[in-house]
Amino acid sequence: MSSLAKRAREDKQAQKARDKQQRRLEKRNAPARGEPQIVSAVDIIGDLRAVEDVMLSMQGDVHVQRSAPAIPAKLFVGSLNNSTTSGQLRSHFEPHCPVVEAVVITDRSTGVSRNFGFVTLADRKAAATVINALDDSELDGNRIVVSVAK
């Protein structure tokens, strides 16, 4: 191979490298395609409370509205009487916390109570106090068992 051909090949490779570098710079400096969407933290997380509001609510001086909805909790209720209905179960729990749903489980074929049920509370933060208050309490003549549903 002659030195002239070798030199031409090296010049061609150098020109390719310069062109590639130029394309990279143009791409980096080019304007974005379409308008970028600007999103704020409020759009993603929701309205956040100020630190002062949180501290006051922890001290108990002021009740501050929550920024997130309450998370429900499902409780297992065992040792129910055969005659206990879903309505009676709901009315037994409602004085302690708002109840979303109360169901006594029945046998599919016979329709007879299986002596247990489930109660869904509106707020999981009240679950511990409801369990402490109603576990081993009396409903329709039976001592009921209340625990977190698993």
Output the pLDDT for position 28. Answer: 83
Host domain of residue 103 = 68-148
Helices of type H across 30-96: 41-45, 51-59, 86-93
Assess if residue 93 is contained within a domain: yes
- The answer on pLDDT for 62 being more than 60 is no
Output the pLDDT for position 50. Answer: 74
- The answer on pLDDT for 54 being more than 80 is no
Assess if residue 86 is contained within a domain: yes
Assess if residue 63 is contained within a domain: no
* Strand order through the sheet with 99-106: 99-106, 113-121, 73-78, 145-148
Assess if residue 128 is contained within a domain: yes
CATH number at residue 133: 3.30.70.330
Structure-token pair, residue 28: 């980096």
Tally the domains of the chain.
1
Q: 11-26 pLDDT, tens per residue?
A: 999 999 999 999 999 8
- The answer on pLDDT for 83 being more than 60 is yes
Assess if residue 117 is contained within a domain: yes
Assess if residue 39 is contained within a domain: no
